[in-house]
């Protein structure tokens, strides 16, 4: 590791906070600078493909990294998992509709939001199918959000009564949202992955940063932001 170098990290929005916190600590240890491009995973991948630059890509589901690897945009042998996020019901702060369980999402008049892209793609189907409530919940879906940020905007602005997302979101939107935990048999976990971009001119340094992210210190930071490191 050498001071003066800058790593360009492409990060989907929901996974950026702990990555940025760890980057600050890495900078203090090594002098390495960071540039973060934060946004929707699909747009980040398109940007990387077009610009043919960048050092690291981190997103909230392995299938997104699979796509990037298949397109030759990341080195598959550099991929690591930084932890897992667990599905939950997200509701506006105060839980005005008193949502307590997955069956409440099937109540008449309850407005449900789901994500149709990004790391939450298909998670509502996984959860509702496990509960045997697919038809009932689908009838109550009023909004399809384009990614995690848009989904939480629906919750934060009270445009929906509940959304199916990650419990870690409660740590990001602390004042406007809260999580209702699902029972273990309905929970879905997805890994937050990371890898070195194929066009990186700083591959060794990028690998050093990924190793740091996988260290015990950064695991604690990810845990503080709602990530898990073992699936029970």
150-163 pLDDT per residue, tens: 999 999 999 999 99
Q: Which residues, in sequence order, are CB contacts of 161 under 8 Å at separation 6+? A: 91, 92, 96, 97, 99, 110, 111, 112
Q: Which residues, in sequence order, are CB contacts of 163 under 8 Å at separation 6+? A: 89, 90, 91, 112, 113, 114, 115, 145, 151, 152, 154, 155
Span 163-169, mean pLDDT? 97
Report the share of the chain in percent with pLDDT over 90: 97
Whether residue 1 is predicted with pLDDT greater than 50 in this model: the reply is no
Whether residue 9 is predicted with pLDDT greater than 60 in this model: the reply is yes
Closest by alpha carbon to 176, among 109, 88, 95, 86?
95
Whether residue 16 is predicted with pLDDT greater than 90 in this model: the reply is yes
Whether residue 2 is predicted with pLDDT greater than 90 in this model: the reply is no
Residue 3's pLDDT is what?
A: 58
Report the share of the chain in percent with pLDDT over 70: 97
Residue 231's pLDDT is what?
A: 55
Whether residue 204 is predicted with pLDDT greater than 50 in this model: the reply is yes
Express each pLDDT in 71-100 by its tens digit. Answer: 999 999 999 999 999 999 999 999 999 999
Express each pLDDT in 172-198 by its tens digit. Answer: 999 999 999 999 999 999 999 999 999
Whether residue 200 is predicted with pLDDT greater than 80 in this model: the reply is yes
Residue 229's pLDDT is what?
A: 85
In this structure, are residues 81 and 181 in contact, taking their beta carbons and an 8 Å threshold?
no
Global pTM value: 0.91
Domains and CATH numbers, the chain: 6-83+191-224 (3.40.190.10), 84-186 (3.40.190.10)
Please provide the average confidence, as pLDDT, over all residues in the chain.
95
pLDDT band at 111 (very low <50, low <70, confident <90, very high): very high
In this structure, are residues 192 and 58 in contact, taking their beta carbons and an 8 Å threshold?
yes
């Amino acid at each position: 590791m050498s001071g003066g170098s800058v790593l360009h990290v492409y990060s989907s929005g929901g996974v950026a906070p702990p990555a940025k916190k760890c980057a600050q600590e890495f900078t203090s240890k090594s002098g390495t600078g960071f540039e973060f491009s934060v946004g929707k995973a699909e747009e980040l991948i398109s940007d990387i493909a077009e610009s043919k630059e960048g050092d690291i890509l981190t997103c909230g589901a392995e299938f997104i990294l699979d796509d990037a690897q298949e397109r030759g945009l990341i080195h598959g042998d550099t991929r690591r998992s930084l932890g897992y996020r667990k599905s939950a019901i997200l509701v506006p702060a105060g839980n005005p509709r008193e949502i307590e369980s997955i069956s409440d999402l099937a109540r008449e008049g309850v407005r449900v939001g789901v994500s149709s892209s990004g790391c939450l793609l298909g998670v509502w189907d996984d959860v509702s199918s496990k509960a045997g409530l697919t038809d009932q919940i689908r009838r109550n879906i009023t909004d399809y959000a384009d990614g995690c940020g848009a989904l939480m905007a629906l919750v934060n602005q009270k445009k929906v009564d509940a959304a199916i997302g990650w419990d870690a979101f409660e740590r990001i939107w602390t004042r406007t949202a809260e999580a209702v935990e699902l029972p273990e048999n309905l929970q879905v976990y997805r890994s937050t992955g990371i890898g070195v971009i194929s066009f990186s001119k700083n591959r060794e340094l990028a690998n050093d940063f990924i190793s740091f992210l996988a260290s015990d210190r950064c695991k604690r930071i990810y845990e503080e932001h709602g990530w898990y490191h073992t699936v029970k």
